[in-house]
Amino acid sequence: MKLSVILLSIFIAGTVAGWFGRNFNLSKSSGQLISPLSSAPTETPKPLLKYSFDGLKQTFFTPKAISLTGEQFTFDTQEGPVSGTANIPDECGTLKLKCPVIIMLRGYVDKEIYQPGIGTKKAAGVYANNGFVTLAPDFLGYGTSGPEPENEIESRLIKPATVLQLLASISNLPMADPENIFLWGHSNGGQIGLSVLAATNKFKAATFWAPVSKPFPYSILYYTGDSDDHGKYLRKAVSEFESIYDPELFSVTNYLDRIETPLIVHQGISDEAVPWKWSMDLISNLQSLKKDAVLYQYPGADHNLTPGWNSVVNTDLKLFRGYTSLPPAH
């Protein structure tokens, strides 16, 4: 009798253990038992990874139509329509010439004072007078563009993708030479430009005026003291972002080795918005990677390269013309 009880107990224990083993899984990562009655843990969605440097490099941007109305142009992006200011040299339209193109990226401007062409119009006029088509996108949320993303961090990360979409669409602009495209950026536009160069090598050359070139998110947190809430809202947004994403995947300083485009940087020594040392460090890092990068420094010049503005523009024209068959600057 006792033997039967013992054998029955062993049988029952084995059956229960077998069922337990078949119906419960041991999580390799946590060592915890996962019940078949509960759903497996789901990974947090990470939609912004498409704006990481790997994401941008892997994205194919389908050429879109670019519509021109006077000095305004508009093109579509995946996130909505984007407007901008265009300067078309007379000879490009009347003689049906295909002219080289400069995509121009402005620095930060408060929406309350923003006007299309602000930050780029003066230099664009000089470049256009010397045979270059210039295209300065307003970006989402500005001009007559569609609204920008509600997420504060996404609204910043999306801008390189906007430029890459514009770059892909230039082939649909009749007077533009898609084989001769250049990049210009000032301040925050310089950081956007550097990010674009880390994602594509389709630009012939680039010039950046006092570019923001520090790692993300320090590059935006540096300016929080200028906001009314002293950066409280932005710091919260960054904290929420970092709880989901690895910020190193979005920091251009980690991807300088991918830049193949020749570039120059102009930096005013008296610039109070972008410390001149930032540009020194940027060029030093690029040159250590054997990149074609040159720094021009201007004693006494401010964030807008004044005094010295004319010299800066002429240096840019010399750089751009070195890759085209255009006549000397005038």
Where does the pLDDT of residue 181 fall: very low under 50, low under 70, confident under 90, or very high at 90 and above? very high
Spatial distance between the Cα atoms of 116 and 121, rounded to a whole number of angstroms: 9
For residue 115, how many other CB atoms are within 10 A of its CB?
12
| DSSP assignment of 175-207 | TEEEEEEEEEEETHHHHHHHHHHTT----SEEE
User: For 76-86, what is the mean pLDDT?
Assistant: 97
Long-range contacts (CB closer than 8 Å, 24 or more residues apart) made by 9-13? none
Q: Where in 43-118 does DSSP place strands (E)?
A: 66-69, 72-77, 80-87, 99-105
For residue 273, how many other CB atoms are within 10 A of its CB?
17
Tokens of 224: 């929080």
pLDDT of residue 325 exceeding 90? no
Q: Which of 55-69, 86-100, 187-201 has the lowest mean pLDDT?
A: 86-100
Answer with the residue of higher pLDDT: 329 or 101. 101
Q: The whole model's pTM is what?
A: 0.86
| Cα angle 307, 116, 312; round to 5 | 25
pLDDT of residue 122 exceeding 60? yes
* 132 neighbors 320 (Cβ within 8 angstroms): yes
